[in-house]
Structure 1
Amino acid sequence: MKLTILGGGGFRVPLVYGALLTDRGEGRVTDVVLHDLDAGRLQAVARVLAEQAAGVPGAPAVTATTDLDEALRGAGFVFSAIRVGGLEGRADDERVALAEGVLGQETVGAGGIAYGLRTVPVAVDIARRVARLAPDAWLINFTNPAGLVTEAMSRHLGDRVIGICDSPVGLGRRIARVLGADPDEAWIDYVGLNHLGWVRGLRVAGRDELPRLLADPGLLGSFEEGKLFGVDWLRSLGAIPNEYLHYYYFNRETVRAYQRAEKTRGAFLAGQQARFYEEMRDPGAAALAAWDRTRAEREATYMAENRETAGAGDRDADDLSGGYEKVALALMRAIARDERATLILNVRNGATLAALDADAVIEVPCLVDANGAHPMAAAPLPDHAAGLVTAVKAVEREVLAAAESGSRATAVKAFALHPLVDSVNVARRLVEGYREVHPGLAYLR
């Protein structure tokens, strides 16, 4: 089976390939095609993959190409992890927003909207090409903002596009571990949008163990989210929010911390990864060792400003290993082999959440089989969560409308309606600021 990875020169691609190397089952991926616009980055990642595969019998063959159509033809699965504008674009997203006193994070608030506005047109073109060149392929989307981009692609691919994220998985596993449960045996009642969801229950052998966690301040404050949000706030919510909700619940403090930081996250990663790719220009450099070293630093500094604001300290060692590649592999296995699995995914709502229409992409537990991912029934959201979810989904819809129409006024509306943008005038200045730094937004008129 052929797997095409779009954004194949991206830094996290070796995580996906490493997961593939562990799969020895029938129907596994035998051919991996890396596609990227940057041939130098493709070559660097291919070197890392070659070192990963050394000594592994039957390792998937790897080829690289800058021709998108060639990459897509004959694919059984397409994994999309593109970054339109690169990390330099992410740094610009952060800088423009912070200059206006609002959050510039890549998926949340103004930065997420800017990223979406320049990514959606590219993602839609990819979806159309997949529909034409690989109509039987399943597209797994990891491109951020993952929920928004998955919804844009679903308008052309229907349920054959599925979005993945490692945040809900990591959250569920942390809760299970602190409760002394096997994460693989726990049922996680998680619901919301990508980077905007809550764990409302964690069932082990049919028993909901979350009330026990909420009732024990020592346990509740012992893991990442307890340290990040604080015991009192989690007990008030009666749920454990996705870590990205820290940007909403503690927005003022987070914006201040980002403004004080020596570098934004995007600028830090741009410099860090530039050094890695520069090192890979040396044909004698140990590619895998350099990649491992760079990845460890990347993971250890994840959401550092949020943790500093909350006094949460360093990340736990168990949280430094990523996880989205495991979700991707489990998803491909379930579909390719018709092995039923339950995974938290980004899919079209159907009738799952009454507050949203059927085509809205949400993030919920899904039953996966050969026919794809099927969202499982979910209890209604409490009012505070429903209000936030519907408000952010309305913003995503305005982003999609602006990307389709090229309307600058609609783009302003998207920014102005976001809960973390506090003024229409700020929204107007954001649109102008982003158009100045991003050539890809020249279509907004």
Structure 2
Amino acid sequence: MMKPVKMAVIGGGSSYTPELLEGIINNQDVLHVSEVWLVDTAEGKEKLAIIENLARRMVQKANRRIKIVATLDRRDAIKDASYVISQIRVGQLNMRRNDEYISIKHGVIGQETTGAGGFMKALRTIPVMLDICRDIEELAPDAWLLNFTNPAGVITEAILKHSNVKVVGLCNNPINFYKKFAAAYNVDMEDVSINFTGINHLIWITDLYIKGQSKLEDVLTGKSETYEAKNIPSFGWDTSFLQSLRAIPCGYHKYYYQTDQILKKQLDQFKNNETRADKVQKVEKELFEIYKDPNVQEKPDALEQRGGAYYSEAAINLIKSIHLNTKKVHTLNVRNNGTITCLPDDVSIEVNCVVESHQITPLQVGSVPPQIRGLLQNVKAYEELTVAAAVSGDRGMALQALTLHPLIPSSDRANRILDEMLEVNRQYLPQF
């Protein structure tokens, strides 16, 4: 008989939580989750209450015996948990909007996980996540922490470097690739095998297999169907570019490989007050109106517009692999330890890993070609400096991080952005 499992969701008032709950309910027979604790902060109290009520209705409709507890006491939620899932947003969507608007106003791309916007989100979030980790170390030392909090790679790296928690970072990017290629080739997801190289939101597919046959050339020569994520603008890749890259970029590469087009589009959105942050605020509002309806007893389809579709499927699949010790391969954010030879050992990378109940082991990637290595090392160095700046509150380190980022053209621009961001984020940045 398996022991009952307590799961704590930090950021339980998130609009994504119903998808996670759906996964827990559907896998109750194998996971034996007995209680799900949803924890949030005082400013997310209203959303938490709505999610709590929906969660109870979902459990009731599915006729499952899962205790749902909503609380503002994080320590209660974490105590003796087997799994802690983190999906927090420090400063909520208003600060995300500020991150985007300040960036675009200074003529650089505004995005929540990379560039100046991702940098600011990391500075706000890392101290809070490390604080959560101290609670986990004390109250649930054996728990696995599944980190979805963005920027997921940077946050995971900060935890790997500054805590003893068993952490693994997750993103819905890889699972979306599996789904898209399975659909494009009309096969099951089990028949798709993908080699990933890189870091979170900067992964390259270096080979793609369908039933053991490499299909990389199909995509590089433009034969395969598209593989874009819905919330990333599609400008189409130039096939001659792909053939010389010898890899399939992820959607986030658009910010680096097609900076001019993206920036032009963002400047237009900025003028009309309709950036991605504005859209997300609107979708979120609509979702919570649906969640409030006492007749809604399952995850609404509208959630897929939110841009994080299938993230909970990735989470539940991973938990199943840990829990049942299946030794399956998952694409995760873990400590490098020599997996990608051109990066330091102690940084976070996103690669295929074998998952066991006691450990997660990355599969060797080895050396990478210079057309991948150049951008990868640059962005990783920015991430290393960002973690150091967030932990130390060192403004000089923060300036170096921003200046180094490929999307920020000069130290002058970085300085001006940093000044404004530190001012706007003052209440969230006591370390500075």
TM-score normalised by length of structure 1 = 0.89
Alignment of 1:120 onto 2:145 = no
Q: Look up the match of 1:69.
A: 75
Distance 1:229 1:4, change over 3 A: same
Alignment of 1:40 onto 2:49 = no
Q: Look up the match of 1:30.
A: 34
Alignment of 1:397 onto 2:403 = no
Structure 1 CA distance for aligned equivalents of residues 288 and 267 of structure 2: 28
Equivalent residue for 1:245, pick from 233, 242, 253: 253
RMSD of equivalent CA atoms: 2.1
Equivalent residue for 2:202, pick from 190, 196, 199: 196
Distance 1:44 1:206, change over 3 A: same
Deviation at 1:231, TM superposition (A): 3.2
Deviation at 1:359, TM superposition (A): 1.3
Alignment of 1:268 onto 2:279 = yes
Deviation at 1:347, TM superposition (A): 0.4
Q: Look up the match of 2:359.
A: 372
Equivalent residue for 2:14, pick from 6, 10, 14: 10
Contact 1:6 1:81 (8 Å CA) reproduced = yes
Contact 2:141 2:165 (8 Å CA) reproduced = no
Amino acid at match of 1:8: G
Cα deviation per residue 1:15-54 (whole Å; 9 max; x = unaligned)? 1100111114344322100000122111111122223223
Structure 1 gap segments, 5+ residues each: 303-320
Contact 2:12 2:38 (8 Å CA) reproduced = yes
Alignment of 1:352 onto 2:339 = yes
Structure 2 CA distance for aligned equivalents of residues 326 and 222 of structure 1: 22
Structure 2 CA distance for aligned equivalents of residues 276 and 19 of structure 1: 19
Q: Which stretch shows the higher mean deviation, 189-198 or 389-398?
A: 389-398
Distance 1:138 1:222, change over 3 A: closer
**Identity percentage of aligned residues:** 32
Alignment of 1:408 onto 2:386 = no
Q: Look up the match of 2:180.
A: 174
Deviation at 1:221, TM superposition (A): 5.2
Distance 1:200 1:176, change over 3 A: farther
Structure 2 CA distance for aligned equivalents of residues 220 and 17 of structure 1: 34
Distance 1:179 1:127, change over 3 A: same
Amino acid at match of 2:395: R
Q: Which stretch shows the higher mean deviation, 140-149 or 27-36?
A: 27-36
Structure 2 gap segments, 5+ residues each: none
Structure 2 CA distance for aligned equivalents of residues 401 and 227 of structure 1: 35
Structure 2 CA distance for aligned equivalents of residues 31 and 136 of structure 1: 17
Q: Look up the match of 1:312.
A: none
Deviation at 1:207, TM superposition (A): 2.7
SS of the aligned residue for 1:30 comes to: strand
TM-score normalised by length of structure 2 = 0.91
Amino acid at match of 1:265: R
Deviation at 1:292, TM superposition (A): 2.0
Amino acid at match of 1:160: K
SS of the aligned residue for 1:367 comes to: strand
Distance 1:122 1:151, change over 3 A: same
Structure 2 CA distance for aligned equivalents of residues 194 and 69 of structure 1: 29
Structure 2 CA distance for aligned equivalents of residues 227 and 398 of structure 1: 31
Contact 2:403 2:410 (8 Å CA) reproduced = yes
Deviation at 1:176, TM superposition (A): 3.7
Q: Which stretch shows the higher mean deviation, 117-126 or 331-340?
A: 331-340
Amino acid at match of 1:330: N
Amino acid at match of 1:419: P
Distance 1:382 1:375, change over 3 A: same
Q: Look up the match of 1:255.
A: 263
SS of the aligned residue for 1:104 comes to: coil
Equivalent residue for 1:153, pick from 146, 155, 159: 159
Q: Look up the match of 2:303.
A: 295
Alignment of 1:89 onto 2:95 = yes
Deviation at 1:444, TM superposition (A): 5.5
Cα deviation per residue 1:101-123 (whole Å; 9 max; x = unaligned)? 00110001111101101111111
Distance 1:156 1:77, change over 3 A: farther
Structure 2 CA distance for aligned equivalents of residues 240 and 125 of structure 1: 37
Paired residue total: 419
